[in-house]
Structure 1
C-alpha cells in the first residue's frame, strides 16, 4: 500500500500552534457553497488571500496566494467559522469582536489560533503523519444542527466560558448561559484519518474519519476504511463578549442567553468550521517530519523548518469585500435576514 507507516526509528513528534489575523468577514464559503456570493451566512476567515467565492479544487492554493494572515508565511491555507453575534433586549444585533489567544500572538488582529498536532501534543502514535494534498478540503460540524444529540456526534466542537485568557477545561456543547469574565472560546477539532483517495466528498466529511477525543487527548487508531493518519487540525476562536457582560443587557429569562451564531442558532449546536489546504510545496510535510514544538518550528531555532513573518506583514494581508452589506455595528437583523431558531 502507498501509505505505509514507517519503522519506529526516527519518527517525528511535531506540533504547530500559531496565530492568524482576520483576513475577511463576509458571506462567502467556497467549500459548501462554491460560487455563491453571498453565501447563506457570515463567516470569519483567516489565512491566504486566494480566498474567493469559488476556489477551483484543481488549483494549488499555496501557489496562487501571495500573502497570508498567519504567522508562518508558507501557510496559505484558509480557515473559517461562522460569526458570533450579540442580541440585545430590543432585538438588535452586534457582531462580537475577537481577540488574540494567549502566548505567541503579539500584534495579531482578531483572527484565530490554529493547531496541527499528531496523535496528541507529544506523540504521533508510531505513525508517520501524512500532509494534506493540494485541493484538499473538509468541514466539521453542521450549520443545521439544532439539538444536543446532533451536536454530541461532533466530539471536538465545544465552548469554554473563559474566566481568564488561560482558562481551559469545563467545555460545553451549548453557548454559556451566564456572562463570562474573559469571553467565550469556541473550539473546533477536525478529523485526522483520511481514506487515502479523495481530496473532498459530497458532504465534505465522508473522506475523513474522526478518532479524536477532544481537548487534545490521545486519539484512537485510524480505522481500515480511513487508514492514513493526517495532522489533527484544530481552531480556537476567542470571542470577546465582555462588552456585553452587563446583566441588564441579557434576557430577563435566566434560561436564555443572548448570543447567536450567524446561522440564526441561539443555542450553539450549529457551530461548524471549514478548512481549505494551501501550504506551499512540502512545507507542512517538513514540519510534521520535524521534532519541533509550537514556535520552535520557526526558522532560527535548531529544529525550526518554517519561515515566519512580522505581525505587520500578517495584518497587511486582506482581500476585497465583494458582498456589500453591513456585518458590523448595531443591525436590525442578522446579515442575509437569517431567522432565529
Structure 2
C-alpha cells in the first residue's frame, strides 16, 4: 500500500517502526480533554482519527466501540489525535489558515498527520516490554501558555523538500521555507501504571525523551511502565505565503498558532486512545515491530470518514481575528 510505511530496511532484521497516515477528520474549536463539554473551545484544532470525536468524551466509554470509521490507515485505530492550527498573519492584521498536505508516501490523503508508534527508536525495537495504552487513556504534551523551550520533543523543521527532516528548531522558522513547515510532537512514554488521566493531563506520564526519534532514557520509579513512544508530524503548506513583501515590515516571521502564539513555544498536542481490543498490544509485542495482522483501508476510504462540525463559524479565508480570540 503506497501510503503506508511500516518498516525500515536495514542490516538488522529488528529495524522497524509503526508509521502511518491519518487524514483530517475535522477542523473546529473542540477539545474534549482540556475543555470537555465546552462548545466552542478556546481555539481551533485539527483533529484526526475515529468519528466518535465530540465535545464530551466520557473516559469510562471505550471510543473504539463508538466510532464507525477512522481517517487512519489502520481501521483498528479509532483513537483521536489533535493539535492547534497554523495561521498566517498579514501586514494588515488579518489571518488566513495555512493548509496542510500529506507526508511523503501517503498518497492523496487529505491533510491530517503522520503518526508514529515506536518501541525504542528507528534502529532497534529494544528488549523491554512495551505496554499498550488502555481504554479511557488520554494525555497531552506541551502547553499553549509556554513562552520558552522546555521539551526537546516539540520542534519545527523548515522543509527544503518533502523529505527534509533536519535541522529542527524550538521556534517557528525565521525565513521562508521552500516546502513548508513541519511541526513535530513527541509524547512522553513513561506511565505511572495507575491513572488513565490526571488533572493537568500530563502528571500520570513522565517524559524521558531526548528529542528526535532516538531511544528515550529509562523510566523513573514513579512512572515505571514503558508505553509506546507516540509522535505526530504535521506538514503545513506555508509556500503561498513565502513572498517576504507579505511579511511584517520588521522582517519577523508571520505564522501564529490558533491561540495567537507567534514564537511557537506553546505548540501542544492531545491524544485519546481508541485502538480496538488488543490490536496495539499485539503490535508492540511483535518482533520486529510490523503491521502484520492489522487491518488496513485505502486512502479513499480514509478520506470519506468525517464528522459534522459542532461549531458554526468561519475558520477559512481572510479573517479579521483568530476564531475565539477577541478583536
TM range (shorter): over 0.9
Among 34, 47, 50, the alignment partner of 2:49 is 47
Q: Offset at 1:290?
A: 1.5
The correspondence for 2:222, drawn from 220, 225, 229, is 225
Distance 1:50 1:13 in 2: 34
Alpha-carbon separation, structure 2, partners of 1:218 and 1:182 = 29
| C-alpha distance in structure 1 between counterparts of 2:311 and 2:264, whole Å | 25
| Alpha-carbon distance in structure 1 between the residues aligned to 2:222 and 2:96 | 44
Contact 1:140–1:154 (CA<8 Å) still a contact in 2? no
**Is the counterpart of residue 187 in structure 1 residue 184 in structure 2?**
yes
- Give the drift of 1:338: 5.0
Hey, what's the Cα distance between the residues in 2 that align with 1:165 and 1:17?
Answer: 16
Give, in whole Å, the separation in 1 of the partners of 2:165 and 2:152.
16
2:322 alignment counterpart: 334
What does the per-residue CA deviation read over 1:50-85, in whole Å, with 9 as the maximum and x for residues that have no partner?
A: 000000000001111010000000000000000000
Instruction: Tell me how many residue pairs correspond in the alignment.
Output: 314
Q: State the distance in 2 between where 1:243 and 1:110 align.
A: 16
> Are 2:274 and 1:278 aligned?
yes
1:13 to partner: Cα distance: 7.2
Match of 2:84 in 1: 82
CA distance in 2, matches of 1:49, 1:62: 10
What is the rounded CA distance, in whole Å, between the counterparts of 2:111 and 2:277 in structure 1?
Answer: 28
Secondary structure of the structure 1 residue equivalent to 2:282: helix
Is 1:139 paired with 2:140?
A: yes
Task: State the Cα distance separating 1:337 from its structure 2 match.
Answer: 2.1
Q: Tell me, in whole angstroms, the C-alpha distance in 1 between the residues paired with 2:266 and 2:114.
A: 20
Q: Equivalent residues in 2 for 1:164-179 (5 A)?
A: 164-179=161-176
Partner of 1:315: 303
Greater than 4 Å deviation, 4+ residue runs:
none
Matches within 5 A, 1:122-161: 122-146=123-147, 148=148, 152-161=149-158
2:286 paired with 1:290? yes
1:259 correspondence with 2:255: yes
Superposition TM-score, scaled by structure 2 size: 0.94
Secondary structure, in 3 states, of the residue corresponding to 1:315? helix
Contact 1:14 1:290 in 2 (8 A): no
* TM-score, length of structure 1 as denominator length: 0.90
SS of 1:235's equivalent?
strand
Contact 2:29 2:39 (C-alpha < 8 Å) held by counterparts: yes
Q: Tell me how large the CA RMSD over aligned residues is.
A: 1.3
Distance (whole Å) between structure 2 residues aligned to residue 13 and residue 117 of structure 1: 11
Secondary structure of the residue that 2:169 maps to in structure 1? coil
CA distance in 1: counterparts of 2:256 and 2:246, whole angstroms: 14
Instruction: Write the distance in 1 (CA, Å) between the matches of 2:151 and 2:198.
Output: 18
Matches of 1:33 and 1:15 in 2, distance apart? 33
Cα pair 2:259 2:325 within 8 Å, conserved? no
Secondary structure of the structure 1 residue equivalent to 2:198: coil
**Match for residue 239 of structure 2?**
242
Deviation at 1:14, TM superposition (A): 5.5
What secondary structure is seen at the aligned counterpart in 2 of 1:335? coil
